[in-house]
Structure 1
Amino acid sequence: MTTTPSLPRVCLVAITKHGAAQVAALARQLPQASICVAAKFAETMQGLPNPLLAYDGAFKDRIGPLFEDFDQIVFFVSLGAVVRLIAPHLNSKDEDPGVLVVDDAGQFVIPVLSGHVGGANAMADTVAALLGATPVLTTASDVGKTIPVDILGRELGWVVEAPKLNITRVSAAVVNEEPVAVVQDAGSPHWWTRPTPLPASIHRYARLEDVHLDRYRAVLWITHHPVSEALWQTLHERLVVYRPPASAGTTTTTGTAA
């Protein structure tokens, strides 16, 4: 049985009259998003179906609740102000929501925080398309049109299995265009969705046994097989494993990796 992924909890935020007008325009296209504006601008949101959070007092006191209650926060506020406002609330990319900033002219959408794991890069593409704006992405794998090691296959239900240091090391190898082997013996083969082909530095295999490990700076293994401690040690900081859902497999080879 398949389950429908839950929609991200999105909040559109403004602290000025012009920003509130921009929020109202975007909210019409994102009726599921909440709106957070100063109480004096609340009446400009009349007629919208979006949940409204109207605040009085210091806006900085709203940041904590926003971080707790939403997955994506889209600020129509200056980038510098947003950086200062969110700084005391940062924990880690595994916990923080996606944070985006839209400039005052509505020309650029900038993911500020949690671009990959938090989904801010994908949200920036969505918001930019709705506004007719340009997404300004600075995450290396997105700019370089290569594999996002930390979230590969996430939309397919894959689970990453590796120490964080491995993910960091392998990500560096990928974005630096060093030789990387991708081994897939399980899961959907349709994980590469970019319109451009895989970079030349990425080499695909169907079996781990066919990979000359000493030729590659990193290995990404998409599998249901158990991974031995010996293999983790052999590929010290060079291995990241992905676990597809057990019911969604490609042709799977037999045996385990020694």
Structure 2
Amino acid sequence: MNDVRVAIVAITKHGAAIASRLAPQIPEAEVVVSEKQAEHLAEFANPRRVYQGALSAQIGDLFSAYDQIIFLVSLGAVVRLIAPHLKSKDEDPGVLVIDDAAEFVIPVLSGHVGGANAYAEKVAVLLKSTPVLTTASDVGKTIPVDILGRELGWQVEAPKINITRVSADVVNQQPVAFVQEAGSANWWTRPTPLPTNIHLFQRFEDVDTAKYHSILWVTQREIAPAIWEQLAERLVVYRPPLEQ
């Protein structure tokens, strides 16, 4: 979990107790606690920040200072707190909520691009809790089109409308061609098998494009404008590092 800027935010006695359990397991995390509840924190090595006044006045700073914000606050309250600060999935931090009994870890914001889903699963392991994932690709154990191969250094290349359209085809189990001409073969990291609607190819020329709703193409090739035009909103391209 290193190199990720993390805040653990507690405003209740129970929240402070959970933060005291969780913080030592995430050494890079800073605990953010209200002045009233600071006395309920245990001793731990993590930095702590004690604020005065309303939590709502802290949200802007939290959004700019951290990559992942773990709220030990009710889900409804967090939604209202963060709403005025939302920009886009490319800019917003990951936001997680843990209930007052530490039974569930819920990614609320930036589940994919911001990494909240993956972080929620890691935190759930530390607390022996249940991660509550609601994004369709995670629930369906299929390809997350917008972040596929990110841990391998792959860069996605496609208009946003393509990503939206292709993502819908993937989660709706439409036939999708996956063409891999470059990059690591270890891109499928889920413990479950690759869904049966994903069909693998080694060359784009081997794909009968009329048979597939969408195409995911991992390649170093230059994509001709005519191909983008031919496939309209059906194509997403991934560019792996040259060394893969």
Q: TM-score, normalised by structure 1?
A: 0.92
Give, in whole Å, the separation in 1 of the partners of 2:98 and 2:46: 19
Residue 233 of structure 1 and its aligned partner are, at CA, apart by 0.5
Residue 46 of structure 1 and its aligned partner are, at CA, apart by 5.5
Match of 1:116 among 82, 98, 112: 112
* Uncovered stretches (5+) of structure 1, i.e. residues with no partner: 249-258
Say whether 1:137 aligns with 2:130: no
Residue number in structure 2 paired with 1:251: none
Residue number in structure 2 paired with 1:34: 30
Deviations, residues 143-189 of structure 1 (Å, cap 9, x unaligned) = 00000000000000000000000000000000000000000010000
Q: TM-score, normalised by structure 2?
A: 0.98
* Uncovered stretches (5+) of structure 2, i.e. residues with no partner: none
Consecutive aligned runs of 4 or more in structure 1 exceeding 4 Å deviation: none
1:40 counterpart SS class: coil
Give, in whole Å, the separation in 2 of the partners of 1:170 and 1:53: 43
Count matched residues. 244
1:1-258 map, 5 Å: 7-45=3-41, 47-248=43-244
RMSD in angstroms over aligned alpha carbons? 1.2
Residue 53 of structure 1 and its aligned partner are, at CA, apart by 1.3
Question: Contact conserved, 2:2 with 2:28, CA < 8 A, in 1?
Answer: no
Give, in whole Å, the separation in 2 of the partners of 1:49 and 1:32: 10
Residue 18 of structure 1 and its aligned partner are, at CA, apart by 1.4
Residue 30 of structure 1 and its aligned partner are, at CA, apart by 1.1
Identity %: 65
